[in-house]
Structures are given as structure tokens and as C-alpha cells.
Amino acid sequence: MDRIETRELAYFVAVAETCHFGRAAQRLGIAQPPLSRAISRLERRLGVVLLERTSRRVALTAAGEVLLAEGRRALDTIDTAVALARTAARPRLRLALKPGGDGGLLAPILAAYRDDPCAVEVELVPCAAGEQPDLLRRGAADAAFVYGHQPDLDRLDSEVLLVEPQVVALAGDHPLAGAATLRLADVAAGLLPSARIARDPAAAMQLVALGRATALLPASLQGQLRRDVVCVPVQDAAPSRLLLAWPAQRRGAALAAFVRIALGSGAVGGA
């Protein structure tokens, strides 16, 4: 059997993920007829039907489901290989983190790392919450700060950098804003899901400031909030964990030094 070219695999994955030839062509930046012909050629070469096509829908066959799963992995591997080759030409450590998502640890860790003989340039890779694991697996980042309530750590190694209490963010004129401490039951009715806060922190804090919601946050984020939002400790909220994560089985001298310094900087532990 002939080998599948990377371009053919990328074409198939785009169609399989969108279940629509027009949208897949737009995503790939090509016209639809060449894309349709390429998928048909691929099916003929493999000797299997990958997609069931009707005038109203496109659906994956069993063979298509298998090729989609394996094709994604293959394309990820190729992307990783390219990223690693480029990184090798210019030694650096790419650290992914969402804005404000370092628990106040980044500056002291970087200061200590710069003095290590194995240190390389650290490039910060800003990202949205929850994107860090995918950046690591694709080879687009070498390490990442990840809050423990959100990560998918498949094929990644990690260590806990910081364990800290959570606080609840309330509008300044909220009836409970002056409390010394609260319990989850006190604010459960208006509590925003953590995924929604992570997806759009500014919008979440706008809702809080208007008195339309409350939000659980790591205590280290208190100083970054708007003035019309106050924070109150929550007695029975599970502690927040900040992790340092990196791709499993990929730990060169520069990354090993960064991990060692981060874990030994006095930042690890509970508040």
C-alpha cells in the first residue's frame, strides 16, 4: 500500500472534523472541488470508504473514525518534530501561561533560573486558560503553568508548585462583602462555573461587579481584580493547586534545571 502524504492526511482530518467539505475547504484555504477529488483518491488508494456522503450530510464510516483518530496523532507528531527541530536551532525554553496565572511565582523563578549554568532564554507563550496541555503536546511550548482544576495531563508530567486557599469574589455592595469568612453554601446560588471564569475572566468579573454572580478564585489573584470587587476567604472550598507541566519523556538539561529551580525556590507548599 502506498504511503499517505501529510497533505492528504490533513485534508481528510479537516473534512472529518467539520463533516462538511465547504467548511473544510475554507479552513484549509483551498477550493472545494480539489478537496473532494483528493479525498476520493485517498479512498481509492486505501481501498475503503472513509466518508458516507449524501446531499444533506457527511458522516464518518468505521474506517474513517479510525483514520481520524490515528491521523490526528500522526499530524501532532509531525508538528512536534518540526517545532523541536526549530527549537534545537535556537536554544530556548517556551513557557506557556495565561495572563496572571503564575500565582506570583514567575519573577522569582526566572531570577533564580538565569543564574543556572544550564539556563537558556525563556520565552513566555501567553494563552487562554486550558490551552496549555495542548500547546505542550503539540510541541508549541516546553513547560506550562496550569491550575489543577482544569488540566488534561495525558502524555504530560507535572509537579505541584503552589497550594493555596480559594476566595470568593463578590460585588463591593454585596450583602456578604463584609464577612470575615464564608462557606460555599453561602454563595452557591450565584457561583459561576470555573470553566466560564477561565474562558473569559473579564466578562466573569463584570458579572460579579454587577452583583449578578460570584466566583471562586485562587487567593493569589486577589490583587489583580477590579476595585469594585472584594474577596472573602471560603472555609470549606478545596485548595487551589498550581502545577508546572511539561511533555512526558522530554526533559533536557535546560528544562530539568527550570523544574528543579521552580520546585526548590521556596514556592512549593500551601498558604
What is the extent of the structural domain holding 228? 166-233
My answer on whether 97 and 116 are in the same domain is yes
Contacts of residue 164, defined as CB under 8 A and 6 or more positions apart, other chains included, come to: 103, 218, 219, 220, 239, 240, 242, 270, 271
pLDDT of res. 149: 67
Backbone angles phi, psi at 102, to 5 degrees: -115, 5
Domain boundary residue, one of 85, 109, 131: 85
d(CA 101, CA 119): 22
CATH number of the domain to which 40 belongs: 1.10.10.10
Query: Residue 201: what residue type?
Result: P
pLDDT of res. 270: 44
pLDDT higher than threshold 60 for residue 266: no
pLDDT of res. 158: 92
pLDDT of res. 204: 86
My answer on whether 172 and 154 are in the same domain is no
State pTM to two decimals: 0.62
Domain boundary residue, one of 85, 108, 131: 85
User: Could you tell me the sign of the dihedral formed by the alpha carbons of 8, 13, 19, 25, in that order?
Assistant: negative
Residue 103 resides in a domain:
yes
My answer on whether 154 and 102 are in the same domain is yes
pLDDT tens digits for 195-220? 777 777 888 889 999 989 899 988 88
My answer on whether 103 and 62 are in the same domain is no
Domain boundary residue, one of 42, 67, 85: 85
My answer on whether 228 and 244 are in the same domain is no
- Of 54, 55, 65, the closest CA to residue 12 belongs to 65
My answer on whether 256 and 146 are in the same domain is yes
3-state DSSP call for residue 147?
strand
Our count of domains for the chain comes to: 3
My answer on whether 150 and 258 are in the same domain is yes
pLDDT tens digits for 236-253? 998 989 999 999 877 789
Calculate mean pLDDT across residues 158-165. Answer: 92
Q: Are 7 and 1 in contact (CB under 8 A)?
A: no
**Ordered alpha helix ranges (H), 176-237:** 184-187, 194-199, 201-209
Residue 269 resides in a domain:
no
pLDDT tens digits for 47-105? 999 999 887 889 999 999 999 999 999 998 898 888 777 766 668 899 999 888 888 89
My answer on whether 135 and 188 are in the same domain is no
My answer on whether 159 and 172 are in the same domain is no
Helices 253-264 and 106-114, packing angle to 10 deg: 130
Residue 197 resides in a domain:
yes
DSSP state of 237: S
pLDDT tens digits for 172-198? 999 999 999 999 999 888 888 877 777
Give the pLDDT band (50/70/90) at residue 168.
very high
Give the pLDDT band (50/70/90) at residue 269.
very low
My answer on whether 22 and 49 are in the same domain is yes
**Pairing of β 92-97 and β 143-147:** parallel
d(CA 244, CA 156): 10
pLDDT of res. 89: 66
My answer on whether 192 and 153 are in the same domain is no
Residue 51 resides in a domain:
yes
d(CA 252, CA 99): 26
Residue 271 resides in a domain:
no
My answer on whether 250 and 156 are in the same domain is yes
Backbone angles phi, psi at 52, to 5 degrees: -90, 120
CATH number of the domain to which 145 belongs: 3.40.190.10
Q: Are 126 and 97 in contact (CB under 8 A)?
A: yes
Residue 1 resides in a domain:
no
pLDDT of res. 2: 64
Calculate mean pLDDT across residues 115-125. Answer: 93
Give the pLDDT band (50/70/90) at residue 31.
very high
Residue 204 resides in a domain:
yes
